[in-house]
Amino acid sequence: MQVQDLARELGVTTDTVRYYSRVGLLEPAKNPDNGYKVFGEQDRHRMRFILSARQLGFSVTDIRQILQHADKGESPCGLVRKLIEDRLEEVNRRFDDISRLKHRMEAAVETWSGEEDKCPTGDMICHLIESFTEEQ
């Protein structure tokens, strides 16, 4: 099947399929007559795997490592568990950072609701931002 067939079947763009081919996660054969890439059943299976792994937050680098284990006939499950635990810690840190940002933004909205607008001066651009401190 050609790139557009695989993309259509899996509900992704042709650019997505081409990207994973370009970075080496898919290795389609080339049609000797026209040079087009031909995707087979293994490519379809790998692409489904890649899409599932991406939905779980695995990076392209992670997926490459997982596929390397599998391609050698080794179980990638231990690696997958370690990687997902690392990703979960990372997501929790980002969530905490976003939560703190949300609270700062809410405090800014509340603080600024009673402030008047002011034009810039030589030493001030926007008094709302410049007067806002993290303690507020």
Residue 13 confidence (pLDDT) above 90: yes
Determine the residue type at 50. Answer: I
| Percent share of the chain, pLDDT over 90 | 85
Concatenated DSSP letters for 55-70? HTT--HHHHHHHHHHH
The reported pLDDT for the residue numbered 3 is 94
The pLDDT value recorded for residue 135 is 60
Q: What does the domain layout of the chain look like in residue ranges?
A: 1-74, 81-116+123-136
N residues, the chain: 136
Compute the 3-state secondary structure of the chain and give helix, strand, coil in percent, each to the nearest 5. 60, 5, 35
Name every residue whose Cβ is closer than 8 Å to that of residue 134 and which is 6 or more positions away in sequence: 104
pLDDT score of 134 more than 90: no
Note the Cα 129 to chain centre separation in Å.
31
In this structure, whether the domain defined by 1-74 belongs to CATH 1.10.1660.10 is answered with yes
CA nearest to 118, candidates 104, 129, 102, 107: 129
List, for residues 32-45, the tens digit of each pLDDT value: 888 889 999 999 99
pTM: 0.77
